[in-house]
Amino acid sequence: MRSYYLTAWCSGLVRKMSLSSLLSCFRGTNIHHFSSHVELCAYTVFNRQCLARGYAKKATPKGKGKMVKEVLKGPEVCRDPEKLVSYAIGVNIYKQGEDPPLKPKEEYPEWLFQLNLGPPKKLNEVDPDSREYWKRLRKEHMWRFNRLHKGKRF
């Protein structure tokens, strides 16, 4: 086995001593597997902590300053009042094609104009026999449970 050296600072003098001499107390035992295992562990510990401590080159981020990040631009804002009144701006999700034109109010279903666009209804405002009530109740219980267990640790 290679002999590794540990540099020890003792009373201002630098002394080199082999690691195997430090572990000689384990060699006297009759358990050879134990002593070889201890030597291997000690070599690993000394190599990681003493021999290479603080001397490694600091990692630098690769490509620093070489590539310039492109700034993503959002969609262009349409300011034409005639187009805003006659087309559904922003509905087309494809790169090609145009936004669909708006149809008269009679061509759309009636439920479309009855949708709740404001804040969601509170639990006491909803009918207890509806599915919406039970979904809302489940959500509120989950929010309460999460609030109560937020500060608890395992």
What is the number of domains present in the chain? 2
pLDDT over 50 at 16, yes or no: no
On whether residue 59 sits in a domain, the answer given is no
**68/95 Cα distance (integer angstroms):** 25
pLDDT over 90 at 102, yes or no: yes
Query: Which range has the worst mean pLDDT, 51-60, 76-85, 121-130?
Result: 51-60
On whether residue 56 sits in a domain, the answer given is no
- Domain match, 85 and 38 both: no
Q: With pLDDT > 70 as the criterion, what percentage of the chain qualifies? A: 55
Average pLDDT, the chain: 73
On whether residue 18 sits in a domain, the answer given is yes
Q: Which domain holds residue 41?
A: 5-51
- Domain match, 33 and 87 both: no
- Domain match, 92 and 141 both: yes
On whether residue 69 sits in a domain, the answer given is no
On whether residue 37 sits in a domain, the answer given is yes
- The pLDDT of residue 107 is 95
Higher pLDDT among residues 141 and 72, named by residue: 141
Prediction pTM value: 0.37
- Domain match, 47 and 105 both: no
- Domain match, 47 and 85 both: no
- The pLDDT of residue 38 is 54
On whether residue 58 sits in a domain, the answer given is no
Q: What pLDDT, in 10s, does the model give residues 121-149?
A: 899 999 999 999 999 999 999 999 999 99
pLDDT over 50 at 106, yes or no: yes
- Domain match, 44 and 102 both: no
